[in-house]
Structure 1
Amino acid sequence: MDGAGLRAICLGLPGAFEDFPFGPEASVFKVRGRPGPAKMFALADLGAEPLSISLKCEPELALQLRAAHPEITGAYHMNKTHWNGVLCNGSLDDGMIRDMIEDSYDLVVAGLPKRDQEALGWAGLSREGG
């Protein structure tokens, strides 16, 4: 997975856009609820070596993923209970990274008002128990 691939996955989600509130090197991917503020679901320096991305995650699942994969840790400068840092160095399958991005997006959209969820065409959490 490279920076262009991460950007494409994030921007391919309904209502997603890229913002740079922390400077030009930090891509922040958000989804906007109307009329409320946009909510972040991913953060990455897409030009960094090694490439990594911060993603929202359910706390229990975050711990399980960290225990199973050394490439997944608590996200730097984020609430480590709810955010994972994912190293994109080729050790993790691209499909797994895509799933984690989609899960992060789902968690954020789940917190938006129902009318905003419907406007995005969101059908609900795709995970068991979500």
Structure 2
Amino acid sequence: MSRQAGFILPSTIIVIFLCLLIFGAVGTTYVTEKNFLTETEQYYILDNMKTIAIVESLKILDDNNIDNNKYVAEQVNNGEYSFKFIKKTPNIYEVQLHCKTSKGREYTASYQYNLEQNKMIGWSE
């Protein structure tokens, strides 16, 4: 029994060290998953705003209610989107889209639209 006096302190330190390692691993996993969920949410919000901006710009193009350098901006619950029409030729317009979420994520794209054929002829991100 006299040789067991120094056994408790090293084993306690080892158990505490293992508990700290487990706690650190779980904490890191939690932070990583939380960041992933936030980024995924922002991606889908941005994708939804991009789709809304495209549909709205196509409605304006279909109505032939277009002026050169016409600028349209809309505020939505999760951010804002805008688009601008630039006349390239008498039948072709370039539409520049810009979307921004309330948390600062941004997306910019442009496409060309042919009024005679009523279709997109080019896309650029």
Normalising by structure 1, we get a TM-score of: 0.25
Higher relative contact order (CA 8 A, sep 6+): 1
Q: Which has the higher strand share?
A: 2
Name the one with the larger helix percent.
Answer: 2
